[in-house]
């Protein structure tokens, strides 16, 4: 009986290992939303934003922000769970006052973000997939790249495969976001809705819409943003991506362009 039990246990472990190994690579990049899938146990994903440029212009000033090395490290700790650590290696901001022509420049590193994603249905992202992801941000950076104080929140990403090549995606997020002056926190709500289409076995196109409601003490804002992104996976463990976001109202940044790479180990 002991031999039979050992054989059955070994077979179960091999089957679980094979299932985890066969799980498709599912990076967080690109796009406005967050996927519900998690990394296989023992697997690690390193995802880096190689370049990110955000441009905004209003009646008073022109703002440009550049980010390099926007990194996210994910590691599977269970069949349905992963841990994440995110950090921006370098950021540069340039603001020009339209009336005076004065230019203000600042640079620095970003804050450290730590999160846990717990999938509750289909961790490989197939069928209907749903997850809960609490996070906390630690103020290791400085403004304008860092927030200036600690923040926290929770995300609820979900996806539904309509067919083998078409999926609906959504992410609901509630935050204790850091105040604009870098001291204290306020309530913020974010909702992302979108659709992804596999153009072929390696190429995926995603279109999204984001609604962000921010109740900062210095001024309440509601932003509407549209996003388009393209992800190419030349191999099972490598992805390259590019995307753009366009502000649909005066509160949102005018435009953002970014590109990056993700690698599974």
CA distance linking residue 86 with residue 91, whole number of Å: 14
Low-confidence ranges of the chain (pLDDT < 50): 1-20
Residue 227 falls inside a structural domain: yes
Q: Residue 222 in contact with residue 212, Cβ under 8 Å?
A: yes
Looking at the domain assignment, is residue 105 inside a domain? Answer: yes
The answer to whether residue 223 sits within a structural domain is yes
Q: Is residue 202 part of a domain?
A: yes
d(C-alpha 161, C-alpha 163), whole Å: 5
Measured from the Cβ of residue 161, the count of other Cβ atoms closer than 10 Å reads 16
Question: Is residue 14 situated within a structural domain?
Answer: no
Whole-angstrom distance, CA of residue 175 vs CA of residue 136:
10
The total of other beta-carbon atoms located within 10 Å of residue 19's CB is 12
Residue 102, in any domain of the structure: yes
Indicate which CATH number applies to the domain containing 258: 2.40.160.40
Give the C-alpha distances (Å, rounded to integers) separating 228 from 30, 128, 169. Answer: 9, 23, 13
Torsion of CA 225, 228, 233, 239, to 10 degrees: -40
Q: What is the span of the domain harbouring residue 59?
A: 26-264
Backbone angles phi, psi at 125, to 5 degrees: 85, 5
Q: Does residue 9 fall inside a structural domain?
A: no
CB 238 within 8 A of CB 21: no
Q: Show the tokens assigned to 255.
A: 């435009």
Return the pLDDT at 21: 52
* 48 neighbors 71 (Cβ within 8 angstroms): yes
Q: Does residue 3 sit in helix, strand or coil? A: helix
Residues 6+ apart with CB under 8 A from 247: 56, 223, 224, 225, 253, 254, 255
Element (H, E) at 211: strand 203-216
In a domain, 65, yes or no: yes
Total domain count, the chain: 1
Which ranges of the chain does DSSP label H, i.e. alpha helix?
Answer: 2-21
- Encode pLDDT of 17-30 as tens digits: 444 456 999 999 99
């Amino acid at each position: 009986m002991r031999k039979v039990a050992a054989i059955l246990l070994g077979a179960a472990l091999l089957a679980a290992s094979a299932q985890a190994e066969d799980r498709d690579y599912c990076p967080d990049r690109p796009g406005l939303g967050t996927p519900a899938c998690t990394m296989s146990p023992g697997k690690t994903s390193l995802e880096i934003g190689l370049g990110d440029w955000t441009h905004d212009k209003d009646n008073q000033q022109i703002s440009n922000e550049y980010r390099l090395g926007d990194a996210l490290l994910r590691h599977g700790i269970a069949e349905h769970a992963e841990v994440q650590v995110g950090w921006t290696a370098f950021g540069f901001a340039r603001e020009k006052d339209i009336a005076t022509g004065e230019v203000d420049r600042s640079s620095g590193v970003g804050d450290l973000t730590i999160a846990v994603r717990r999938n509750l249905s289909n961790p490989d992202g197939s069928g209907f997939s749903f997850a809960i992801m609490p996070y906390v941000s630690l103020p290791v950076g400085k403004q304008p790249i860092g927030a200036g104080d600690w923040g926290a929140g929770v995300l609820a990403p979900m996806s539904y495969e309509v067919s083998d090549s078409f999926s609906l995606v959504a992410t609901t997020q509630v935050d204790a976001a850091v105040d604009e002056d870098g001291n204290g926190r306020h309530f913020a709500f974010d909702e992302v809705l979108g659709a992804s289409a596999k153009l072929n076995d390696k190429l995926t196109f995603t279109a999204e819409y984001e609604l962000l409601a921010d109740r900062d003490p210095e001024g309440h804002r509601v932003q509407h943003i549209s996003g388009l992104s393209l992800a190419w996976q030349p191999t099972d463990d490598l992805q390259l991506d590019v995307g753009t976001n366009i502000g649909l109202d005066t509160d949102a940044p005018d435009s953002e362009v970014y590109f990056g790479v993700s690698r599974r180990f």
